[in-house]
Chains A and B, each alone.
Chain A
Amino acid sequence: MKLSKVYRDYLHRFSNKTLFMQGDIACAYGALYGGCNFLAGYPITPASEIGEQLALELPKIGGYAIQMEDEIASIAAVIGAVWSGARAMTATSGPGFSLMQENIGYAIMTETPCVIVNVQRSGPSTGQATKPAQGDVMQARWGTHGDHEIIALSPSSVQECLQLTIECFNLAETYRHPVILLMDGEVGHMREKIVMPDPDKIELTGRRLAKPGELMFGGQLIPPMTEFGAGSFVHVTGSTHKDNGMRDVETQKVHDKLIRRMYEKIDKNRDKLIRVEKDYMEEAKVAVVSYGATARPAKGAVIQARKEGKRIDFLRLIGIWPFLCRVWRRNSS
């Protein structure tokens, strides 16, 4: 699927231009290139610029940006917008991400494709608001309760903030699952060179909508969904539900089937979702494994060490979740 004409016409002004841009702003433009037409959020350092930029841009091209009363309401509005047909996102930092956890679980359980950007900062709690950190990796994986999978990507350059945001939207639709972009305050607030893509060349994954009578919560690994108001009846619930969406909070088999399917839709595509940048991974016994902002100086150090004749490999996690356990074993044998 291509970007809509309105979006392409608007984004053409940036096409192939080299700009000096902040990571957060690149993320906001990544959302536009990714076809995002709805943002709900609540300002927080170091993520505010994403919402600010989208609040400036979205209304110009027929999209919506809402500042909600808090982060719980923000993710709730995102989920509602998606079920009304929007490509929706929210952007926050650690404290807001903590608040969102309950509804991230709801998005997973209702298989709602959406993008949650977390520009990580120092914590716990309010911590040092203006200092960057990378402490939410485990929260991204297990912040919401129960058995579930998650998809999370982590950029380490401004260019990647844009690229990976586009991919987050596509992955969300492909797997009908919330996708987390784990940025950090350093990448979010730094500025560097970025080459803006040509909007005509962007490939988007569209939403698969159910045909009349098609099941929306089972019957296949990744079922199609619908939009409220499109004519078909649908029941969306965070409680355990059958293939048709109706609640069943008693039968163990129903729960087992649902949770296994939702696990398998990620697990069976693990190889596609695992993404790494490998350098020199051939013969060395020691590898530096890193991600996000710290991967930059880490790679610089590896290059320096190799100049000095030391055999050290470099591995950067771009896809943080699902974790690259299989690749890792192969290389560390």
Chain B
Amino acid sequence: MNIRFSGFGGQGVVLAGVIYGRAATIEGKNALQTQSYGSASRGGASKSDVIISDEQIYELEFTTPDVLIAMSQEAYTIYAQQLKEQCIVIVEKDLVRTEGVKIYSIPATRIAEGLGQKIMANIVMLGFMSALVSEVQPQIVSKDAVCKAIYESVPKGTGDKNIQAFEEGYKLGMFNLKLQSTKS
């Protein structure tokens, strides 16, 4: 499974990829995370790609993701080209306009702000995504593994707060799935 987290520098898209890759490793899967970013510490396009597989991973990069998360308009414009039909696309509602394409749009930054830390928008996103992925591929990475990976990856003392952000995103993801199933 190929997952791409994208946005601008400073939004934590690299960390989100690292956490999910680490979670896959905790699950005993093979995971490979690469990143590409500009030379500025904030701003500029940034992406973090994660490949998860039961097999040995040879390819270091992919062209078409199975899941795309775009947290900025620029990232969406670049990476939403030529997507697979089944690709799950999730965008930051307040920052990305998508003009009618069917995707998931969530106000991750606003939710994080509501929890007191705007900087945790990436973790809210991660929670939302984890919920959706667990629906498509339930065996890939468990919620517990992601939570464990969050504790291992975020600064000491911020674990609980980040888990809260993850849970908020996860809940919203589950709610969206339920909504879908009632519609169909």
Could you tell me if A191 and B32 are in contact, using CB atoms closer than 8 angstroms? Answer: yes
Asked if A299 is an interface residue, CB under 8 A from chain B, the answer is yes
Asked if A18 is an interface residue, CB under 8 A from chain B, the answer is yes
Asked if A9 is an interface residue, CB under 8 A from chain B, the answer is no
In the complex formed, the residue of A with least CB distance to B24 is A20
**Given A45-B39, A297-B60; A189-B25 close (CB under 8 Å):** no
Which A residues are in CB contact (< 8 Å) with B35?
A: 189
Could you tell me if A130 and B31 are in contact, using CB atoms closer than 8 angstroms? Answer: no
A125 to chain B, nearest CB (A): 14
Whole-angstrom distance between the alpha carbons of A297 and B38 in the complex? 24
Asked if B79 is an interface residue, CB under 8 A from chain A, the answer is no
Could you tell me if B34 and A299 are in contact, using CB atoms closer than 8 angstroms? Answer: no
- In the complex, how many residue pairs between chain A and chain B have their CB atoms under 8 Å apart? 55
Within 7-63 of B, Cβ neighbours of A (below 8 Å) are at 18, 21-22, 25-26, 30-39, 57-61
Within 126-149 of B, Cβ neighbours of A (below 8 Å) are at 149
Which B residues are in CB contact (< 8 Å) with A129?
A: 39
Could you tell me if A192 and B36 are in contact, using CB atoms closer than 8 angstroms? Answer: no
Which A residues are in CB contact (< 8 Å) with B57?
A: 192, 296
A271 to chain B, nearest CB (A): 29
Could you tell me if A296 and B58 are in contact, using CB atoms closer than 8 angstroms? Answer: yes
A127 to chain B, nearest CB (A): 11
Could you tell me if A191 and B60 are in contact, using CB atoms closer than 8 angstroms? Answer: no
Q: Which of A18, A130, A193, A297 contacts B59 (CB 8 A)?
A: A297
Binary B-proximity of A1-37 (CB < 8 A = 1, otherwise 0): 0000000000000000011100000000000000000
Within 72-117 of B, Cβ neighbours of A (below 8 Å) are at none
Which A residues are in CB contact (< 8 Å) with B60?
A: 186, 190, 293, 296-297
Could you tell me if B30 and A192 are in contact, using CB atoms closer than 8 angstroms? Answer: yes
In the complex formed, the residue of B with least CB distance to A295 is B58
A187 to chain B, nearest CB (A): 9
Asked if A238 is an interface residue, CB under 8 A from chain B, the answer is no
Could you tell me if A192 and B31 are in contact, using CB atoms closer than 8 angstroms? Answer: yes
Which A residues are in CB contact (< 8 Å) with B36?
A: 130
* Chain B interface helix/strand/loop/mixed: mixed
B48 to chain A, nearest CB (A): 10
Asked if A303 is an interface residue, CB under 8 A from chain B, the answer is yes
Could you tell me if B33 and A190 are in contact, using CB atoms closer than 8 angstroms? Answer: yes
Could you tell me if A20 and B18 are in contact, using CB atoms closer than 8 angstroms? Answer: yes
Could you tell me if B31 and A189 are in contact, using CB atoms closer than 8 angstroms? Answer: no
Asked if A219 is an interface residue, CB under 8 A from chain B, the answer is no
- Scoring A129, A191, A300 by chain B CB atoms within 10 A of each residue's CB, the highest score goes to A191
Could you tell me if B34 and A130 are in contact, using CB atoms closer than 8 angstroms? Answer: no
Whole-angstrom distance between the alpha carbons of A293 and B59 in the complex? 9
Could you tell me if A296 and B31 are in contact, using CB atoms closer than 8 angstroms? Answer: no
Whole-angstrom distance between the alpha carbons of A296 and B22 in the complex? 20
Could you tell me if B34 and A189 are in contact, using CB atoms closer than 8 angstroms? Answer: yes
Which A residues are in CB contact (< 8 Å) with B61?
A: 297
Q: Which of B31, B34, B38, B39 contacts A20 (CB 8 A)?
A: B31
Whole-angstrom distance between the alpha carbons of A296 and B55 in the complex? 13
**Could you name 18 residue pairs across A and B whose Cβ atoms are closer than 8 Å?**
A19-B25, A20-B25, A20-B33, A129-B39, A130-B36, A130-B38, A186-B34, A186-B60, A190-B33, A190-B34, A190-B60, A191-B22, A192-B32, A296-B58, A296-B59, A297-B58, A299-B58, A301-B58
Q: Which residues of B contact A (CB under 8 A)?
A: 18, 21-22, 25-26, 30-39, 57-61, 149
Q: Known contacts A20-B21, A130-B37, A191-B33; can you find 14 more A-B pairs with CB under 8 A?
A: A18-B25, A20-B18, A20-B22, A20-B26, A20-B33, A189-B34, A189-B35, A190-B32, A191-B21, A192-B30, A193-B30, A296-B60, A297-B58, A297-B60
6 closest cross-chain pairs (CB), A and B: A300-B58, A20-B22, A20-B25, A191-B33, A192-B32, A190-B34
